[in-house]
Amino acid sequence: MVVGLGNPGQEYESSRHNVGFRVVDILAGRIGMALGRGRHRSLVLRGSLHGVETLLVKPTTFMNESGFAAAGWQQALHLDLRQMIVVHDDLDLPLSQLRIKIGGGHGGHRGVRSVLEAIGSPDFVRVKIGIGRPREGQEAARHVLEPFDEREDDAIQVVVQRAADAVETLLQGGLEVAMNQYNVRGASQARMV
């Protein structure tokens, strides 16, 4: 199961907080179908990615209630937590950097906190997309709800495609393979993006 985090509604569509939704939409496009209304207050699509039966999920609640959809589907499908991939933005990563990890805290991310609380464990896979820190004096809450500016937009379009690739690598090759391929630091990451 791949859960993309974001806020519903057209006004949030291009916000920094919605990169998780963008990745799920890309994966749906690769399957060749659109997401439809599903249970657990979510939009869903069941399909095959490289022969792996996958459920794509976009919660229809606001970010701070994302756990309802994630936990509902995880329990309904009796998935091991390592079979749940949550894709979300990360303020603490430089713009357009990817990081794949399993476990850990929520780092102040309300969507991740909601998922953690709803499933009762941190032991799910995360694909984190760097959206950069707020400008000097800007509140984090405002920063995450802003769209990317023109200088950033090309890099973000590339990184959401790479994040979708990373999800497919997770499905095909597993966590270690994906982490080795996508958890690249510093200048070499910038050249790849």
Active site residues: 17
3-class SS letters over the chain: CEEECCCCCHHHCCEHHHHHHHHHHHHHHHHCCCCEEECCCEEEEEEEECCEEEEEEEECCCHHHCHHHHHHHHHHCCCCHHHCEEEEEECCCCCCCEEEEECCCCCCCHHHHHHHHHHCCCCCEEEEEECCCCCCCCCHHHHHHCECCHHHHHHHHHHHHHHHHHHHHHHHHCHHHHHHHHCCCHHHHHHHC
**What is the distance between the alpha carbons of residues 90 and 86, in angstroms, rounded to a whole number?**
12
Q: Which residue has the tokens 């569509």?
A: 13
